[in-house]
Amino acid sequence: MSATHPEQFASRPPAWRLRARARLGLLLGRHRAAEAAFDALLVQHPDDGDARAGRAHLRALRGDRNAAIADLRAMVSRRAADAFNLGYLLDADGRAGEAEAAFREALAGDASLDRAWYGLGLALARTDRLDEAVAAFEHHTVLQPMNPCGWYQLAHVHARRGDADACRRVIAHLKGFEPRVAAQLERETA
């Protein structure tokens, strides 16, 4: 007799079987059974977009809009993070135009993704779209006001634009919480 017990597998059906149960439940109009199959599938595979979308649809049908919205938000934020990761890799590969598109896709999914605003600012600065880069870095600094990276890049973009007053304002702001970064910026943008 083997060390595995058959009852272990009975409590946790394989993903293919759960998908089949969900499809059959949808086909036969047994929405609660289909939703239960999606629930079980998502326990095993939380990143399964098809299962999450199917469950969101069923939740909306039965009037639980809050739960449906939560499922869809989870999908959107996960896709936003994936789009950010793609943008980061494209930017690291020197493909600023493609990185910009990926960062914008991430922001369309989650406008509060501060890293995507930062990445977008970098990509725009690399393509000399400095006014747009300023706007992106300003969004980043609103979302992450104590992170000196966004302020640092913002000051450099202001300097490249020839806006010495704006650059000095950023440096003065940084002196309040990151004096070493402010001093470095003073040396670099003098």
pLDDT at 167 over 60: yes
Q: For 113-157, what is each residue's pLDDT tens digit?
A: 999 999 999 999 999 999 999 999 999 999 999 999 999 999 999
Tokens standing for 190? 């003098």
* Domain positions in the chain: 6-63, 79-189
Q: For 68-119, what is each residue's pLDDT tens digit?
A: 888 887 887 778 888 898 899 899 989 999 999 999 999 998 999 999 999 9
Tokens standing for 8? 């272990």
* pTM for the whole structure: 0.69
Measured distance CA(183)–CA(172) in Å, rounded: 10
* Topology given in CATH for the domain delimited by 79-189: 1.25.40
1 — pLDDT class (breaks 50, 70, 90): very low
CA angle, 107 then 152 then 111, to 5°: 10
